[in-house]
Amino acid sequence: MGTRKVFSVQLGLQLSIVKYKALVRRLARIGLVLSNLTTPLKSAIRLEIPVMLTLHQFTLFMSSVFLLPLLVSSHPVLVNYQSSTPSHETVPKQVANAQITLGVFSNSTNPDLHTLQALYDGNQKFRESADFQADEAEDESPSFMFLSCSDNRWSPNSIFSTPAGSIITHTNIANQYSHRDASVNSAIAYAVESVHVQHIIVLGHYGCKGVETAITESSKISRLVRKWVRPISAMYAISRRQEIVILRDSRKPRRGQDDGIKTAPPASDPGFRALVEENVKRGVKELRTNTAITQAHARHIKTAKNEDIDVFVHGFVYDESTGEVHNLNISFGPPGKTIPSVPFKALATARNFHRDHDRPGISKGKTWDFGAH
């Protein structure tokens, strides 16, 4: 270590390896050769002592300073560069004991979040904070079951700030329900017959990636995923809801776009949002025939205290951009029973285009200018 030069540059900006090499090449082109630097100039770069530079050295040094901002971004990093050029100079003690590496720090506030160690540490914190709740959670009887989406970044527990043990959640891509899906049917049977939940909620969310796949049908998406969302694709293809028809029509092939639009619509697109809502409605409608629910409505489930338990089904949509939850106003329950009040804001009733009334031939592939109406 004592026989090698150490060129240490502390930067207040983040510098990638590629950009660093480009900087060296530029400096070489203007005549600044690192191996020929004088001792006063190297000391100045290390910012250890003030020195007097020759006019030629000062000009070259300032040229590098003006070039540097063009090659870097705005995050701090410590760069230590070790030269292989032999030298008999004494290396300062603090540099000799330093770790000679080139490191770029991540923008992430928790760079280890992808490791199992991060999960372990998180569990330790959870145990410390949850110890006093353990007994309460053990006796808690969940009142709600959610059928939610796998790609929703916020769980129902987070969205509704619910305590531990008050929610049962079943997730799949695009929060779908099918009577042929043994997994979701067994989960509902457990929730209704064993846990005695009172509310089952189909929770969709705007920007849903499953619904997006149903719209784009991208070949880049797994074949299994495309098969799973096929019911949504079919609904998208035949829906007469105004927003969906406009979205579908805008993506068709036309002059200058022979293949149509293949990119995904933004989450804010009215047609995309409408399809998310219609998918939730479809799920609630399908639940009307669920065996566990229909049997519960028929035989009037009782609690251990011989109290009636009525099971109600609701359809909600979560808006990730605002945090709001919207009620689709499609709830149902046991025959003859009044639906409990739903405090969430109800969305306006959807309007459909009718085949021969609003747009003659609309289902025959004709392109309409909806902006003119």
As annotated, the binding site includes 149, 151, 205, 208
Euclidean distance between CA atoms 135 and 72, whole angstroms: 55
Residue 153 vs residues 162, 206, 209, 211, 319: alpha-carbon distances, Å = 16, 11, 11, 15, 11
Residue with tokens 């329950």: 333
Euclidean distance between CA atoms 55 and 58, whole angstroms: 5
In a 3-state reduction of DSSP, which class is residue 47? Answer: coil
Kindly report the number of other CB atoms within 10 A of residue 103's CB atom.
9
Our separate counts of H helices and E strands in the chain read 14, 9
DSSP 269: -
Contact 192, 290 (CB under 8 A): no
Contact 166, 191 (CB under 8 A): no
Tokens read off for 331:
């709830």
Euclidean distance between CA atoms 7 and 12, whole angstroms: 16
Residues contributing to the annotated binding site for Zn(2+): 149, 151, 205, 208
Element (H, E) at 302: strand 301-302
Tokens read off for 5:
């030069």
Amino acid making up residue 311 = V
Euclidean distance between CA atoms 312 and 338, whole angstroms: 10
Euclidean distance between CA atoms 51 and 35, whole angstroms: 19
Euclidean distance between CA atoms 200 and 184, whole angstroms: 12
